[in-house]
């Protein structure tokens, strides 16, 4: 009952935030003249979703043979939308807007459960107006759907800690694990969520931590098993999520590696495997890439250290990747002035979020607030994961809701201290704390 009363009290604010999120994303989608181009991730996702919607299975658009080239979660989600509403870029973009609304609400829910009312509302608003996330909404990419599954999983972890009955605790943590499994099927980074949550619970000395970890892991594994079984049948080899790990590993660990993306195909790295048709070719290429990357890393320890710093800088250094992707492979539709202005806006907002978020995390640690430790562990894991492969600035986009919530805590504290220092009127009414 208390939760329902709180939600009703926050509903007007949430409706405003959702309206702002929808308006900004709709306006940008109308402005953007972007579409999937062959050779880019967007094209694979769109074409695979169309094939799924047509009943052709998870097969490659080039040869119609079964594939596990990319994680399947987003194509399956997009295929469901295409099946019901028809396959078109506009439908995919409308789906992005709906998912964005869900992310706003999930961010609010996570903030409400883990931090407090003011931070939940402000964090949801910050994500709603986050420039890079507004711009990203025009692209048929997996980040948004992954983001939703990630935030929902974390929100349910905190819901399990707040539950007053054993049944409620079990239901919440099982659901949290299931969403973590879904996140893993959307993007491979999700695979590490189980150990991040497990380590956090252990460090937190949470009562019943062992039971929670077991239930979370079981539910996560249960979601992954059907896809892994399908891959074992199709490829006659153990393929947990996808066959692109070896390809990505070579990008990050080779003589050509610079921390960011480069195309192995352009350097002839996998020429020996091009003529091997799917699905055998995918498995062999994945194994070969993994082997080449490990061998190179072990024989180049000094270069690995330099690359680790470069990847970290690329991952967190700026936020404007969304703009590059808008015009990747398509005729430029932004003027140079518009592109330059948007780049400045996107990065300034992002740097502000980083500063405010840093303040929020420091304050939360001083107050021994559990959420701060979880966020830092996720950031650490995210960084280490991409050091293991390669980095692009868009790869930090899935953590933008967490960054927005941390920034909200920092901004609220800064505002309240300024009020006290300079005698301003109260910025946030007492009932918003």
- Cα distance between residue 101 and residue 105, in whole Å: 6
**Better pLDDT: 339 or 285:** 339
Calculate mean pLDDT across residues 236-257. Answer: 92
> Which pLDDT value is given to residue 431?
45
End-to-end C-alpha distance for the chain, whole angstroms: 19
pLDDT tens per residue, range 200-242: 999 998 888 999 999 999 999 999 999 999 999 999 889 999 9
* Residue 280: HSE in the Cβ half-sphere, 13 Å Cα cutoff: 5
**Better pLDDT: 90 or 420:** 90
- Cα distance between residue 120 and residue 109, in whole Å: 7
> Which pLDDT value is given to residue 433?
46
pLDDT tens per residue, range 145-183: 999 999 999 999 999 999 889 999 999 999 999 999 999
From the list 147, 108, 97, the residue with the least C-alpha distance to 408 is 108
Q: What is the pTM of this model?
A: 0.94
- Domain residue spans in the chain? 2-432
Calculate mean pLDDT across residues 183-199. Answer: 94
Helix (H, G, I), strand (E, B) or coil at 59: strand
Asked if residue 179 lies in contact with residue 191, where contact means CB atoms within 8 angstroms, the answer is no
- Cα distance between residue 155 and residue 160, in whole Å: 9
From the list 122, 130, 129, 120, the residue with the least C-alpha distance to 151 is 120
Helix (H, G, I), strand (E, B) or coil at 213: helix
Pull the structure tokens for residue 432: 């918003």
pLDDT tens per residue, range 96-117: 999 999 999 999 999 999 999 9
- Cα distance between residue 114 and residue 161, in whole Å: 10
pLDDT tens per residue, range 344-398: 999 999 999 999 999 999 999 999 999 999 999 999 999 999 999 999 999 999 9
> Which pLDDT value is given to residue 14?
96
Q: Residue 7 pLDDT > 90, yes or no? A: no
> Which pLDDT value is given to residue 424?
60
Burial of residue 22 (CB within 10 Å: 0-12, 13-18, 19+) is: middle
């Amino acid at each position: 009952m208390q939760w329902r009363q709180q939600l009703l009290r926050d509903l007007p604010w949430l409706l405003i935030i959702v309206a702002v999120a929808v308006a900004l994303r709709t306006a940008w989608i109308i402005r953007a003249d972007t579409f999937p181009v062959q050779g880019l991730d967007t094209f694979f996702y769109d074409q695979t979703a169309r094939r799924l919607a047509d009943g052709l299975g998870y097969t490659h658009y080039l040869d119609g043979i079964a594939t596990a080239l990319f994680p399947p979660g987003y194509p399956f989600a997009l295929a469901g939308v295409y099946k019901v509403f028809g396959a078109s870029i506009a439908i995919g973009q409308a789906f992005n807007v709906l998912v964005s609304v869900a992310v706003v609400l999930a961010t609010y829910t996570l903030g409400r459960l883990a931090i407090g009312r003011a931070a939940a509302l402000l964090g949801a608003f910050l994500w709603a107006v986050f420039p890079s996330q507004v711009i990203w909404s025009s692209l048929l990419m997996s980040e948004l759907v992954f983001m939703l599954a990630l935030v929902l999983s974390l929100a349910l972890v905190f819901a399990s800690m707040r539950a007053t009955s054993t049944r409620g605790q079990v239901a919440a943590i099982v659901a949290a694990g299931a969403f973590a499994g879904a996140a893993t099927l959307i993007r491979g980074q999700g695979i590490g969520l189980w150990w991040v949550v497990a380590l956090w619970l252990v460090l937190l000395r949470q009562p019943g931590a062992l039971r929670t970890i077991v239930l979370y892991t079981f539910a996560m594994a249960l979601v992954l098993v059907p896809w892994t079984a399908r891959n074992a049948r199709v490829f006659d080899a153990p393929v947990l999520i996808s066959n692109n790990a070896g390809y990505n590993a070579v990008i990050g660990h080779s003589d050509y590696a610079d921390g960011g993306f480069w195309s192995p195909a352009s350097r002839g790295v996998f020429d020996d495997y091009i003529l091997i048709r799917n699905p055998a070719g995918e498995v062999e290429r994945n194994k070969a890439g993994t082997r080449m990357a490990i061998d190179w890393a072990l024989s180049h320890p000094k270069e690995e250290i330099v690359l680790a710093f470069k990847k970290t800088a690329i991952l967190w250094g700026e936020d404007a990747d969304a703009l590059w992707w808008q015009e990747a492979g398509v005729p430029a539709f932004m003027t140079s002035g518009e592109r330059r202005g948007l780049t400045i806006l996107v990065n300034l907002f992002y740097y502000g979020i980083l500063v405010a978020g840093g303040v929020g995390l420091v304050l939360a640690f001083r107050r021994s607030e559990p959420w701060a430790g979880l966020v830092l562990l996720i950031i650490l894991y995210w960084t280490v994961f991409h050091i293991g492969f390669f980095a692009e600035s868009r790869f930090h986009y899935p953590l933008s809701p967490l960054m927005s919530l941390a920034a909200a805590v920092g901004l609220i504290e800064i505002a309240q201290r300024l009020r006290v220092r300079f005698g301003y009127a109260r910025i946030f009414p007492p009932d918003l704390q």
